[in-house]
Amino acid sequence: MAEAAYREAVELEPDHAYYRFNLGNALLRQNMLEDASAAFRQALALDPDNADAMNNLAWSYHERDEHLDDAVALSRRAAEINPAKQAYYLDTLASLLLKQGNPTAARTAWQQALAATTDRQAALRRDIEKRLAALAAE
């Protein structure tokens, strides 16, 4: 349903980054990863400093197991651009670094993400704590 609405919105206003970004989110939720990646790239072409689009493109690359170096750069850039959501972006970065086979760098990124969480991000904090515990158990 959301996908159809955002496809229609993109058709009506093709230069609107917000619609392309949310189309990407709808596609990502449906595990339509290639299409989601394309929508996030299009959103970034229209709004190059959209940190959420960078992070979600990075995550779509993570899920596709492709372009991991690009994904790492995207999540790092997102964390620089939007410090208010840094914890989310560093969580993505850590997952990417782990996928690349660098558990030490992943641990550091998760520790930074944990330190960046706010009181309103309790669920994210718990998830990061679980990931750090799992990493320590390996």
Q: In whole angstroms, give the CA distance from residue 9 to residue 24.
A: 13
Domain 67-138 has CATH 1.10.3470: no
Domain edges within the chain: 1-48, 67-138
pLDDT by residue (tens digit) across 37-75?
A: 999 999 999 999 999 999 999 999 999 999 999 999 999
Q: Could you tell me the two tokens for 87?
A: 């914890």
Contact predicate 5/35, CB 8 Å: no
Q: In whole angstroms, give the CA distance from residue 23 to residue 95.
A: 23
**Whole-number average pLDDT of the chain:** 95
Same fold yes or no, 1-48 and 67-138: yes
Contact predicate 39/24, CB 8 Å: yes
Q: In whole angstroms, give the CA distance from residue 30 to residue 117.
A: 28
Q: Could you tell me the two tokens for 96?
A: 């990417």
Superfamily of the domain at 1-48: Tetratricopeptide repeat domain (1.25.40.10)
Query: Which pLDDT band holds residue 101 (cuts at 50, 70, 90)?
Result: very high
- In the predicted structure, residue 6 carries a pLDDT above the cut 90: no
Q: Is 0.85 topped by the overall pTM? A: yes
Q: In whole angstroms, give the CA distance from residue 91 to residue 84.
A: 13
Q: In whole angstroms, give the CA distance from residue 94 to residue 89.
A: 9
